[in-house]
Chains A and B, each alone.
Chain A
Amino acid sequence: GESVGLHLPTLSVQEGDNSIINCAYSNSASDYFIWYKQESGKGPQFIIDIRSNMDKRQGQRVTVLLNKTVKHLSLQIAATQPGDSAVYFCAENSPYNQGGKLIFGQGTELSVKP
């Protein structure tokens, strides 16, 4: 499954499938990007980050892809599990942002069907 955070806020996938969550960021000067996961009743938790000098970074079951040409960020989750059900936020940081301010996307709600 694939979604664009601002236009399709809900993504439903089958357990075991791969998930792709997309994010369009706003500032071409942004040089640092983060994906957060927020489960119900909890604060956002860091998943993975990437700096603008890279176009791909892999973690455990997650991969972030950065396309600076079109200002697009994606999060790929391999073999999606029920525990992955949550809201996923992308965030960007621009060197012009004072005080480390991050700009957050709306979020995409991922629902994993068993």
Chain B
Amino acid sequence: ETGVTQTPRHLVMGMTNKKSLKCEQHLGHNAMYWYKQSAKKPLELMFVYNFKEQTENNSVPSRFSPECPNSSHLFLHLHTLQPEDSALYLCASSPPVPNEQFFGPGTRLTVL
């Protein structure tokens, strides 16, 4: 248990649905991250937030919309996704760099 939680753990959605992924950490970290992990591929960084401000958007399609209301919570809002968006979505947090990132268990997303 790393102190980073994610809900839901599994999500199945249609292409027209709207859903949100939630990430929470109470480790006192200031940075939070969203990653996409597809089979046989390296982790793909999607978004980075430092002190609630988005500092990185790694050319992510607008159907993925992040939200960071405070330094402990991070959301990923999903809208009109495609089947190729099916993957494991991982949240991580970290103290000031350079330091390790602590990962949550991930949300396994399936888009039908």
Contact = CB atoms under 8 A, between A and B. Distances in A.
B94 interface: yes
B103 A100 contact: no
A42 B96 CA distance: 24
A9 B42 CA distance: 11
Interface stretch (B13-21, B48-56, B60-68, B76-84): B48-56
Interface residues of B, number: 27
Contact of B100 (A49, A95, A99): A49
B101 A43 contact: no
Contact of B97 (A43, A89, A93, A104): A93
B43 A89 contact: yes
B74 interface: no
Interface in A1-60: 9, 31-32, 34, 36, 41-46, 49, 51
A43 B94 contact: no
Contact of A100 (B42, B90, B101, B106): B101
B97 A100 contact: yes
A98 B96 CA distance: 11
Interface of B: 2, 4, 6, 31, 40-43, 45, 48, 50, 55-56, 90, 92, 94, 96-106
Interface of A: 9, 31-32, 34, 36, 41-46, 49, 51, 89, 93, 95, 97-102, 104-107
